[in-house]
Amino acid sequence: MLDLAHRYLSEDKTRALLRKLRDLNLTAGPIALDRRAHVTLLGCASADAPAEGGVRYRVRLDDGREELLEIQARHEGLEVRLPGHRLDVHVTSDRLGRACARAVGARAAPETNDPRELEHFLRRIVRATFAA
């Protein structure tokens, strides 16, 4: 039997997930990075742009600096970039078709309309990017 749990997420589903993350336009915080450090999401900076070109979120660090976090689709999953930093997040598809980023503990259905599910996925990506 073919194990679908280790197949990469299809390009269509990856684009759908990026569109959902863009449309979420999340403003939330703080996202704990460790016991003292946190970042705050200030919303999507690419809300009017096609998600296929990447999704960009503004983030504020503890010291008040603002950075731009960019999430791009790649064949194996997502590439997340901050100025001077890059993280590759492999995203597979489970048997239910959900996007699974095992390395960061994130899972979401690309077609979901549940903001909590999308927020959880985005928070895990953000936390992993700053921790790496």
Question: How many Å apart are CA 33 and CA 80, to the nearest integer?
Answer: 16
What single-letter DSSP state applies at residue 6?
A: G
Question: How many Å apart are CA 123 and CA 40, to the nearest integer?
Answer: 10
User: What pLDDT shows up at residue 36?
Assistant: 87
Question: How many Å apart are CA 12 and CA 18, to the nearest integer?
Answer: 10
User: What pLDDT shows up at residue 116?
Assistant: 95
User: What pLDDT shows up at residue 132?
Assistant: 73
User: What pLDDT shows up at residue 35?
Assistant: 86
User: What pLDDT shows up at residue 17?
Assistant: 96
User: What pLDDT shows up at residue 131?
Assistant: 85
Residues of the chain below pLDDT 50: 1-5
pTM of the model: 0.90
